[in-house]
């Protein structure tokens, strides 16, 4: 299981803490420090719609040149997200079979196969 995020993101910190508390073995990949390649993002886009991966509310999105924002095509998205990983909705959880963005502990219980631990510390 792999968790992608940015260390300074509160939601990512919450998700990492939750995974640790649940005893779920995972590898953390820091998008800012470790980067991400366009091929990985292209693969993600076969598993998730673009609107679930692109964070249009991020500061990075707001700071992009309006020409880039207004003329963004699906084919351009992998390169844009690889160049600006803070545009990716965080965290991204890849269980190997499922891919999810954002953190929701109830949904993650099912995604991680830990639903039998619901409500247990």
Active site residues: 9
SS (H, E, C) 40-97: HHHHHHHHCCHHHHECCCCHHHHHCCHHHHHCCCHHHHHHHHHHCHHHECCCEEECCC
- CA atoms within a 13 Å half-sphere pointing along the CA-CB vector of 53: 23
């Amino acid at each position: 299981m792999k968790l992608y995020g940015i260390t300074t993101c509160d939601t990512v910190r919450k998700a990492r803490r939750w995974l640790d508390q649940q005893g779920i073995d995972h590898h953390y990949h820091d998008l800012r420090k470790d980067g991400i390649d366009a091929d990985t993002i292209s693969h993600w886009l076969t598993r998730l719609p673009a609107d679930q991966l692109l964070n249009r509310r991020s500061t990075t999105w707001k700071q992009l040149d309006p020409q880039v924002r207004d003329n963004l095509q699906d084919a351009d998205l992998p390169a844009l997200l690889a160049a600006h990983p803070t545009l990716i909705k965080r965290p991204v959880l890849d269980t190997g079979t499922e891919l999810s963005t954002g953190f929701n502990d109830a949904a993650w219980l099912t995604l991680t196969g830990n639903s039998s631990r619901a409500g247990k510390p």
